[in-house]
Every structure is written in structure tokens, then in C-alpha cells.
Amino acid sequence: MQPIDLSKTYSILKLHQGKSGSLIPILQEVQAQYGYLPEEVMQCIADKLKIPASKVYGVVTFYAQFRISPQGKNLLKVCCGTACHVQGGGQILESIKDALDLHSADTTTDGKFTLQEVACLGCCGLAPVVTLNEEVHAKITNKKVKEIINHAK
């Protein structure tokens, strides 16, 4: 595994120097650079802000927007909102977990897929809904799930 290049983190920290309440914006910007928040990066942020690493880790693990491991090449989001749930969203979720063997992790071992369960995606009339890399797939069935997975690059 290659060492993490911290120069991007230092640049972001410099932009926020002297500003209070900047931990979350810093974490958002750093994650946008790396795709997730590596441990070395969280430690670097803690050191530079002179706060305990446990505080940084606590914030990162509290908010669903932050990731502590790399995201897969394809991001599959399954809507677990009420409308989708009523239309069989739970079964679709299980079907995807089975197909990708994702019962104890959110990313496949080959790094091809990351699965996220999300609240309403804002298109309830199309329930149940799944997105693949922000492309909306409406009225999903188990058959469509397999097609989506097989056609993903």
C-alpha cells in the first residue's frame, strides 16, 4: 500500500487556518480530494488543529457523509424510504446484498461496488428506486437488479 500524500491535506488546512468551527468543512474538502478519510489524514488534521484524534474520529463516524474506507468504483444506492419500502425496497436491498455478497461490508472485495442504504431519493412515484452512480433506476425488480449489476463497468 502506498503512503498517503498529505500535501493536499496541508493545503486545505492552510485555507482554514485561524477559522473556528472549521473541522467539518475541512473533513468534507479532504474527503473530496481522497475519496475517503484515511487514518493518517485524520491524525494529521487532529495534530494541526491541536485537538484529540478521537474527536476527529468521533465526528467522522457520527456523520453518514464521511467514509473511513475507499469507495468502490460503482456506487449503488438503495432507497429505504417509506414509499420504496412499501413497494418492496427491503427485498431489493437483500437481493443486491446477496448478488454482491455484501452482508458484512459495504464494498465488494474487488472494489467494484459500494452499497449504500439511503432515505428518500426524492422520486417516490418511481418506487422502488435504486441509483447507480447517480443514474436513477425506477420500479426496480430482482431481474432489473441483476441487469444493473451485470452492466456496470
Choice from 84, 100, 115, 145 touching ligand FES (CB under 6 A): 84
Q: Grid coordinates standing for 34? A: 481522497
Contact 95, 145 (CB under 8 A): yes
Q: Rule CB under 6 A: is residue 93 a binding residue for ligand FES?
A: no
* Beta pairing, strands 74-79 & 130-132: antiparallel
Nearer to ligand FES among residue 60 and residue 80 (C-beta): 80
Classify 78 as helix, strand or coil. strand
Q: Grid coordinates standing for 23? A: 473541522
Q: Rule CB under 6 A: is residue 83 a binding residue for ligand FES?
A: yes
Nearer to ligand FES among residue 110 and residue 135 (C-beta): 135
Q: Which of residues 94-153 bind ligand FES (CB under 6 A)?
A: 120-124, 127, 129
Interface with ligand FES (CB under 6 A):
79, 81-84, 120-124, 127, 129
